[in-house]
Structure 1
Amino acid sequence: MRDQKLDAVSESFLKVFPVVIKYFILLGDQVSEPNYSYQDYQILHALKDMGEVPISTVGNILLISKSRMTVLVDKLIDHGLIERYPDKKDRRIINIGLTENGREFTFHHKEKLKSDVSEKFSGLSDEELEQFLKSIANFQEVMAKTNMDGKERDKK
């Protein structure tokens, strides 16, 4: 019985994941400026959350190759959205972080995304919204338990 449930979870997860990714990529495209790619926005939002970090850390988290990260970082620097900083502990390490323009740009992009998501879900009833919020909370809890939320869990 447990194997059947695990198989059903796997099947459902593999069906819903591409739909969610496609939804947010399309949504992101609708609110994004044409000069910036999906990966540009991923980097900017990651830096908003992480602060100044090594380029390789961002690339590893976002699954972007080193060579591609170099191109993307150079472009974002040229546009005044991020800067390179020497690491305070090890000057051989180069960190990247948002500039003030980058913080504002990322903030406005997130606000546009939130507005569009709100609009997409505005047709749901209050009960449907509540059920969806509970589903999202449950999903986040499960992802944390399976260490698939991108965060390290305490090892007990």
Structure 2
Amino acid sequence: MIDKRNISDDFLEMLFLLRHRIFRHISIPLPINQFVVLCILTDEGSMTFSEIGKRLSIIKQQLSPIINKLEENNLVKRLPDSKDRRRIKIQMTPKGRKFITEHQNKIKAHLETNLSVLSEKEIEEFGKSLKTLMKLFGKISLS
């Protein structure tokens, strides 16, 4: 029988390893909550406060200071929703897109450098495993 608890434990361990082995070595000049909002907007495009809050599991009052700081740094802007002017959409600015692209490239370069400790066979296996994970994550939701 498949032990789903072990799978979830292994998943959390993998997230910890990613953070410890990759992300902690890369300097990001933003608090993580602001960086995550930019990442979400990169994936989803413009979103309302409610949509972002739901993705982060935080309330609007907690999200407002995060968006305010991103807006002060010209990384996002607020726009009225074209369908309902009472709703505000948050959209990344060109500066925000450039910021995310630069930091994604730093993460990729760091990972590529660290892959050099693996053999060609291990790198190939790692790549296949990532493709499998992406396929499976496409089928499940962690919300």
Please report the TM-score for the alignment, with normalisation by the length of structure 2.
0.87
Choose which of 122, 128, 131 in structure 2 pairs with 1:128: 122
Corresponding residue of 2:141: 148
Corresponding residue of 1:119: 113
Corresponding residue of 2:64: 70
Q: What is the SS of the residue equivalent to 1:97?
A: strand
Q: Say if 2:78 and 2:90, in contact at 8 Å, map to a contact too.
A: yes
Q: Does 1:44 align with 2:38?
A: yes
Report the CA distance between 1:68 and its aligned residue.
1.9
Choose which of 95, 104, 126 in structure 2 pairs with 1:110: 104
Distance (Å, rounded) in 2 between the aligned partners of 1:19 and 1:106? 26
Q: CA RMSD in A?
A: 1.9
Q: Where does the alignment leave 5 or more consecutive residues of structure 2 unmatched?
A: none
Distance (Å, rounded) in 1 between the aligned partners of 2:8 and 2:45? 32
Distance (Å, rounded) in 2 between the aligned partners of 1:119 and 1:15? 28
Indicate the percent of aligned positions where both proteins have the same amino acid: 29
Task: Give the 3 Å change call, closer, same or farther, for CA 67–120 of structure 1 in structure 2.
Answer: farther
Greater CA deviation, 23-32 or 44-53? 23-32
2:28 counterpart letter in structure 1: E
Q: What is the SS of the residue equivalent to 1:104?
A: helix
Report the CA distance between 1:80 and its aligned residue.
0.9
Matched residues, number: 142
Distance (Å, rounded) in 2 between the aligned partners of 1:83 and 1:65? 19
Q: Does 1:30 align with 2:25?
A: yes
Task: Give the 3 Å change call, closer, same or farther, for CA 41–121 of structure 1 in structure 2.
Answer: same
Residue by residue over 1:22-76, the C-alpha shift from the partner in whole angstroms, topping out at 9 and shown as x without a partner, is 2343433432334x11111111111112111112112212323322211100110
Greater RCO (Cα-Cα under 8 Å, separation 6 or more)? 2
Please report the TM-score for the alignment, with normalisation by the length of structure 1.
0.80
